[in-house]
Structure 1
Amino acid sequence: MVSLSSSARLLPFPLLQSFIRPFSSSATLLRGYSRRSSPIAAAFSQASQSSHAVREGQVMEAPRPSSRRPWKPTCLYYTQGKCAMMKDAMHLEKFSHNLMVDLPVNASATDKVKPQKLDYLLILDLEGKVEILEFPVVMIDAQSMEFIDSFHRFVRPTAMSEHRIREYIEGKYGKFGVDRVWHDTAIHFKEVLQEFEDWIGNHNLWKKEQGGSLNNAAFVTCGNWDLKTKVPEQCKVSKIKLPTYFMEWINLKDIYLNFYCRRATGMMTMMRELQLPIVGSHHLGIDDSKNIARVVQHMLADGAMMQITAKRQSATGDVKFLFKDRIR
């Protein structure tokens, strides 16, 4: 975890009255990046009880009838149970450090969940087309549907110049106002995987010395691109071997098609058809992972079975798709 100053100040933003933008006292955190006037937090609404879109990307508040507390955007300095800004009272007031509030479970819905072969589901939604920029994972219990934990890291490209990185990040995260936190916290993909392996190891989902696939758990992605294409590509760029736990996954689009007998082009289609309001900002990885997790919760409550849909034969081999009816 990087070391950051706890000082902060308020900045204006067109969609909000104020946001916190922390300053780093360490020159190494800047990595050649000059400070600008954009806030670190995404443009989320301090929403009222009625869910409503506040900008492009449909930032909304999740319905929580039992709570009148205003919705808060997820803190993006927060990862693996730690946040460098926890001593800053204003920061704590503005941002949420508990993803569970966006993934509530209705106790009566668990009665409808069918027995699952897997214990845990790891919802993954990568961001970054040239190289991976964000690696977010939301872990839920496959039977109770409850949120268990999350892993989130911004990823620093390996084979790009600092100038190109600044352009890349401005184009991707500048519109959300989180480019500052990206520059403060991003680490290389190899380091991200090392931290992720510690995380899944602590949850007893995988042991490095044993290798192999995950233990009673599986990745859930909205499409095959994340694990079929992007992770192998990034491993080549980062000059590392494809980890064994990336050899199989669940494509939620295929599960959705076979369970509801209708095709969904992506997360937004699923949420619209299931009448689920969007939480957070579309195309911010951690928020997309939460929203996909909410789709998974809804499908489990409807009686869907989460099962592996794709397997890679080897680190360099072809992918075998296990469902006859699938999204191509």
Structure 2
Amino acid sequence: MATKKLARQLGIIRRISKTSPGGQNHGKPKLRQLFDYLVIIDFESTCWKEGRKCYTQEIIEFPAVLLNTLNGEIESEFHMYVQPQEHPILSEFCTELTGIKQNQVDEGVPLHICLSQFSKWIQKMQKEKNIVFSSGHSSEGKLCAFVTWSDWDLGVCLQYECKRKQLRKPDVLNSWIDLRATYKLFYCRKPRGLNGALQDVGIIFAGREHSGLDDSRNTARLAWKMICDGCVMKITKSLDKVSGFPS
């Protein structure tokens, strides 16, 4: 009996690993979602110990994962390391926090090249999966929105770096879903960071904290759990106009 039980457990584990991000199966969405796909982004940037907060931060890791809100599958990923140019040498604190090594950013690309490659990936996803980016209903394709943990990634970090460097960022990055604010509203509790939010809903963080790609994957797992619990994802922030929250 023990052998059969173990075999069943292993079978469940294998089945789960194929059906949802990070091997967490939380069932099916309870409510129809506004968005068929979500692109989850979590940048890592240059950072220093307290006392040097006046330094401008630059993106050094640019990850994105595409989540299907119907089945919880991560269907595609984008990932690049980015060369910081204002402060090209990473601090010891930054390397320890993010796990990103100096040679990885040295071999990376400038932000404008990364944004160009990201735009190509987005265009590829739009073509392959018939994705459109819009806050309203569309009969022309499958609606998609961006998701971040807080407004910092797209509202502060990328926004101000592009302004300083006079770079044009893709217009689709002007609106997004703040999952931290959405989590707080939906569960009526303040999350203790991404890892704390995962723990509160019974998910173990997979990978390394403050790795941009791992953080993005885990944020996708949390979004899927929330969707299965009945949360309908809605745009919470727009740089084009003030977006009401909740909408």
- Please indicate, yes or no, whether the TM-score normalized by the shorter chain is above 0.5: yes
Secondary structure at the residue paired with 1:216?
Answer: strand
Is the contact made by 2:24 and 2:203 (CA closer than 8 Å) also made in structure 1? no
State the Cα RMSD in Å.
Answer: 3.1
Residue of structure 1 in register with 2:173 after alignment: 246
Residue of structure 1 in register with 2:122 after alignment: 200
Q: Deviations over 1:8-39 (max 9, x none)?
A: xxxxxxxxxxxxxxxxxxxxxxxxxxxxxxxx
Give the % identical residues.
29
Aligned partner of 2:32 among 96, 115, 125: 115
* Distance in 2, Cα, partners of 1:203 & 1:181: 30
By how many angstroms is 1:65 displaced? 5.1
Say which structure is richer in helix: 2
In the alignment of these two chains, the number of paired residues is 217
Is the contact made by 1:213 and 1:244 (CA closer than 8 Å) also made in structure 2? no
Secondary structure at the residue paired with 1:151?
Answer: strand
| TM-score when normalising by structure 1 | 0.59
* Residue ranges of structure 2 left out of the alignment (5+ in a row): 1-9, 47-56, 136-141
By how many angstroms is 1:305 displaced? 0.5
Aligned partner of 2:64 among 134, 137, 150: 137
By how many angstroms is 1:201 displaced? 0.3
Greater RCO, CA 8 A, separation 6+: 2
Is the contact made by 2:42 and 2:215 (CA closer than 8 Å) also made in structure 1? yes
Secondary structure at the residue paired with 2:59?
Answer: coil
By how many angstroms is 1:266 displaced? 2.3
Runs of 4+ in 1 over 6 A off after TM superposition: 98-101
Aligned partner of 1:320 among 238, 242, 245: 242
* Distance in 2, Cα, partners of 1:99 & 1:123: 19
Question: Residues 118 and 186 (structure 1 numbering): CA distance in 2 closer, same or farther, change over 3 Å?
Answer: same
Aligned partner of 1:150 among 77, 82, 93: 77
Residue of structure 2 in register with 1:172 after alignment: 94
* Distance in 2, Cα, partners of 1:99 & 1:151: 20
Query: 1:289 and 2:227 equivalent?
Result: no
Query: 1:216 and 2:143 equivalent?
Result: yes
* AA at the equivalent of 1:309: T
